[in-house]
Amino acid sequence: MGIIEITLIAIGLGMDAFAVAVCKGLSMKKMKWKNAVIIGLYFGIFQALMPIIGYFLGVHFENVMEKFDHWIAFMLLSVVGINMIHATLKGDKEVIDEKMDYKTMTLLAIATSIDALAVGITFAFLQVNLILAIIIIGIIAFLLSFLGVKIGNIFGDKYEKRAEIIGGIILILMGTKILLEHLEIIQF
């Protein structure tokens, strides 16, 4: 898996963090750059850590699942993407306030990075430079979260739904690409 694919996956994963960051920005009466950095760091770090955990879970079970790895990658990425789109279209929306305490931010960071855990499992079955992948995922999650706070503070929740849907579509497409490549239907 190359840098382009990893970057696209990182953008797809980062859309959850972006949407929550937009909500955090909405909750701020006045834009606080320090808070935008803190939010970006929480989401970026957790988005980078979860694939590591998933990777090691996947490696542990690699011998058992080697024949089905591309199907697992396809299903995990697709399910995560479909769930993102479904929750957005259904109107599921978390109420997020201006709190920036450790507990609140940790819970939000975990909630927005669970998808990255599943992606990490797929990394174990594919040829992925894990260090490069977690760096890209962490940086993109940080940048999207940081920008999300500012955008939320300026524009409100106008773009939140679109971001979630785009993120879901990207993950589904990446899962489909992995499956088609392993079935040798297409080659990139």
Judge whether 82 lies within some domain.
yes
pLDDT at 93 over 70: no
Q: 99 falls in which pLDDT band (50, 70, 90)?
A: low
Residue 135 forms part of a structural domain: yes
Domain of residue 33 covers 3-182
At 167, which helix (H) or strand (E)? helix 160-182
The one-letter amino acid at 70: H
Q: How many domains does the chain have?
A: 1
Predicted confidence (pLDDT) per residue in 138-182, tens digit: 999 999 999 998 888 887 556 667 766 776 787 687 778 777 877
Evaluate whether residue 118 is within a structural domain. Answer: yes
Geometric angle at alpha carbon 83, from 81 and 88, rounded to 5°: 100
Give CA–CA dist 43/41, Å, rounded: 6
CATH number of domain containing 32: 1.20.1250
Domain membership of residue 187 (yes or no) is no
pLDDT tens figures, 25-79: 876 777 788 889 999 999 999 999 999 998 888 888 766 666 666 777 678 768 7
pLDDT at residue 95, rounded to an integer:
47
Q: Binning pLDDT at 50, 70 and 90, where does residue 92 land?
A: low
